[in-house]
Structure formats: C-alpha cells, structure tokens
Structure 1
Amino acid sequence: MAILVTGGTGQVGRALQRLAPDRVVAPKRALLDLADPEALAEMVASQEWEAVINCAAYTAVDKAEADVVAAWTVNALAPAAFAAATAKAGIPLVHLSTDYVFDGSKAEPYVEDDPVAPLGVYGASKEGGEQAVRTANPNHIILRTAWVVSADGANFVKTMLRLAAGRPELRVVGDQYGCPTSADDIARACIAIVDRLAQPDAPRGTYHFVNAGEANWADLAEAVVARAATHGRPRPIVTRITTADYPTPARRPANSRLSTAKLARDFGITAPEWHVAVDAIVDTLLKDQA
C-alpha cells in the first residue's frame, strides 16, 4: 500500500517524495482541491492507503491576516475532512502543525501539553486544524514543527543566500528564538512515524519535531553566509535588529523553541543539530548553482 501525501509541492512534500518515491503518492494540486471536502474524502476512499500525511497548509503568515477564509479553509477545514475520511477508512493520519499555535511568552522550550495561544490568523487556523484532527480521528499524530528550511521552495536560507549575493550588510531579527528544521529530517520522521503506527500498540497524539539546538534568525543568517563563504561566495555583515525594527502584519512568537523529548521517548526519533542540516542545504544549493 502507498502513503497519500498532501502538499506535494511544498518543502516537506517534496522531501517525502525524494525519500520514498516508491511509497508516496502526492496528487497534483489540480487533482486535490483542498477547498472541496467531498473531493478530499473521495481521494482517501479511492484506494487502500497505508496512511495519509497532511503537509498541505496555507503558510503565508502575513497575508493570512487579511485572507482569513482561505487560511481557515486550508488549515482547519481540509484537515477536518481528511480526519473524518481517514477515520472512516480506518487508517492513521499524520498532520503537520506549527510552533505558531503558541504565543512565545514561555521562557523554556514548549512541550506538547502547554496551553496554546496563537497570535494571529495563521496560528489560530492551524490550531483549528489540530482540534479537527483530534476530534475526528483518534488514530492520528499531530506533528508540530518550526522554521522549516530546505533546498526547495521559498524559505529563509534561500532568501539569505539571494540577499547576501548583492548586499554588504544583512539586517536580521535577533530577538525571536526557535530552531531551523530541515524538511528532509521532517520527512524521515514522518515515515518513521507511519511505520510505527502500523503496530497496534503505537502511541497516538501530539508531538514536536525540530532539529537539535536553538537559534535566532540572525544566528541562522550568520550560519548561512558563513557556509556560503566556504564556496567562495560573499560574506556580508549580519546586523542584529529587534522585532520592533521590522514590523509585520502578523505578530511572531518571540520563543518558538519546541521540546522533542516526548517524540524521542515514544518513537525513538531524534534529529541532527541544526547547523548540520543548514550546512547540507547550503552545500546542495550552491553545488546546484555552480
């Protein structure tokens, strides 16, 4: 049996297809309308799936503040439809969520049972998706992650490489903390979870997965330009600024650090340190451009 993956053009969706090309089916967006619950149910019912991994999301955090209906449709109503359909089919649902369900006021890394308090539409809609999954299909894993980066799509690493090529200075926020997380590592975690869910005694519920360590955005920018410099690229100065210096329509959590102890305990899944993951992404991107 195959694994149905939604959001196949996103960073994690692409990573899953690379990781398990003979096992993953990721329908094109034209064949899977996330705004059509009946179409989603029909896709789940179209064959016997091993599991569904829902990577699809409305991730334009600032745009979501004005595009409320679209954000809630993709981030909450579509997961509700998938959860209901997978429950009917008797298969597990692995649903990716986000650090943005928290407000960032905690001093320590967040654990799964900490109270949620999203700051904006994106986080609220993702929390709505979590609630839909929990109430519609007990056979689920909600996997919260954060600061996703890869050699695919649009993300912070690629933005820094582009800006560093033409600027002597990069002004980057230094008072928001989290952990850069490789889409490839998330994909490996998802496949390991699906494998474990095939066993009747497998745990269910909400878990966190990020790469090891922590950073702020300026730390990540410095790591990117330092690694790029080993490829002969320019190394601009990274100037640390505050969140107040870079206002955005949506508020960001000041603390997006997530504890992964529960996932390691229950599933034996751990991740490499974020520097290792980011170095590998930069190497891939610059090798491809050479």
Structure 2
Amino acid sequence: MVVLALRRLTQTAAVLAVACVLAFAMAKNAGDPVAQMLGNSATTQDQADLRHKLGLDRPAAEQMWRYASSMATGDFGTSYQYGRPVLALVAERIPATAELSIVAGVLSLLIALPLGMCAAEKPDTFAARAGMAFASIGVSLPTFMLGTLAVIFLAGRWRLFPSFGRGEVIDLGFWSTGLLTASGWRSIVLPACTLALFQAATIAKIVRAEALAAYAAPHIVAARARGLPEAVVRRHVARTITVPVATVTAVQFGTIVAYAIVTESVFQWPGLGSLLIGAVRSADVPVLAAYVVLAAGFFTAMSFVVDVLQIRLDPRVRDAAETMP
C-alpha cells in the first residue's frame, strides 16, 4: 500500500507538471487578455503599460518558469478579469460545483443500481426492457439538450422549478450551501437530474452487464438449482459485482465534474464551470491555467481512489499489490 501511494504521488507530480505546461501553452493562445481588459478605446501605450505590469512582455520561458514556481507554492496568480487571487475565486465556486456533483452522483446511483439489477435478474420482462431503453436514451441524448428541454418545459412553461441560479444560500464560514434552504433544493433539482441522467444510464448498463455475468457463474447457477431464496442469490450477485461497479462509479464521478461545466452554463449555476466559461471569453490566462491543473489533479486523485477501492474490495488485487516490488 505504501509503495502504491509513493508511486501514485510520483505519477501525480508528473501529471501536474505536464498539465501545467499544457495549460500555460493553451492559455497563452486563448487570446489577448490586455485587449479584453482595456477594450478598443485604449491607446498603444496603455496596452504596453498593462502588458508590462502583468509580465506579458517577458520571454515565454521566463513567464512559464515564474508561473510554475508560483503554482508550486499554491499561488495561482491573479485573475485578469476580476483582479482577485485565482485561488480565492476557485474557493468561492467549489461549494456550488461540489454540491451539484455530489447530489447528481447520489441520484445517479439511486437510479442505476436498482435498474441494472432488475434488468439482469429478469431480463425478459417488460420492465427490464423499458429500463434498458431508458438507459439507451439517456446515454444518447447530450447533456445540454436535456438541460435546455428542462428549462423550456419544467421551468418555463410549467414553472415547477427555477430555471437558473442556486437559490438562497447560507454561509457557514468555511462553506456556502443551498442544501439547508427550500429554495436551494428547488434550484438544484433540474441541474442535478440533468447531470445525473447520463451517468445513471451509463452505470445501469454496466451494472446489468456485470450482474448478467454473475448470474451465469457456476456457483450462482448451483445456488439457484438448490432452491436458495432469490434474496440470498441477489446478495451473492451484489457482492460479486461490487468491485467493478465501485470502480466505474468512482471514474464516473470524475466525469460528472467534467459534465458539470455544460450543465452549469445551461442553468447559470455559479460554480467552476461558469467561472471557466467566463475565463475563456475574456482570455483570463491565470484562471484557465489553474482550472486545467486542478482538473488534472482531481482526476489523478480519483484514479488513486479507484486503485484503493480495488485493493480493499478484491483480495486478488490486494495480494498482487502486496507482492509488488
């Protein structure tokens, strides 16, 4: 376990270094932040002064070194658009994105697990086929289309839920949450359901495939032949598919965070996604670079979580990890 952790830390450092270089290169070609900040009425001298103040007139290698050195100490620079430290902006937006992702993740599991297990246990029933048809539709429809339809009908025409915003938010000092207010829950329903549908459809298909393979295993077939209650058989099947389903779920949570960008833009959710889109429009290089690096770090952390889950849940993987040099 210690060897795995050290190896993962080394890989994480390498991934973050590469992400830092790529983020800087992409951000440098995203546009001219000086023109965005000053507008068309600025003189050439005004642009030159601001470019010098921001350090954009220095060689690219020097800019890259200064940026990487600052990032290594936790300083992601100052936003060109807001004039505030990037880390402070990110910290303000993380609660909104985290709550949306967690609610969507829990909702996707509540839909996917029973749906996949039911489709595997009784694959020839109408309910199983209808559930898999629903899963196929959920996988096929783009997230932005689902969100737009939800805004048009559920929020616009029928006025069941708010179409934008986070609702009333309570500041707890270290965290801001809308989950403690009624308007906050009403506001999160549409974006969370939109974000959860694609993930639920994907996980349901994987659960069904793994459960079908488990039901066809010799020990499960023998257990059914001996007349064991279906609840006992189902428990054995659930135990068998725990490792692959937990692994896929951890990976899918990273995907939920990625898809949150699209969902947040549709519902004007004040999270990291809206911050990123605003940074792209204004060529806010520090915010763009920080987002890419933080996203790379998050996905690397989720990969480590997947490895730990496999070691903890599967004795075969645990034995292999213990024998690693």
**Does the TM-score normalized on the shorter chain lie above 0.5?**
no
- The structure that is strand-richer by fraction is 1
The two structures have a TM-score, normalised by structure 2, of 0.21
Max radius of gyration: which structure?
2
Specify which structure has the bigger relative contact order, considering alpha-carbon pairs within 8 angstroms and separated by 6 or more residues.
2
The two structures have a TM-score, normalised by structure 1, of 0.22
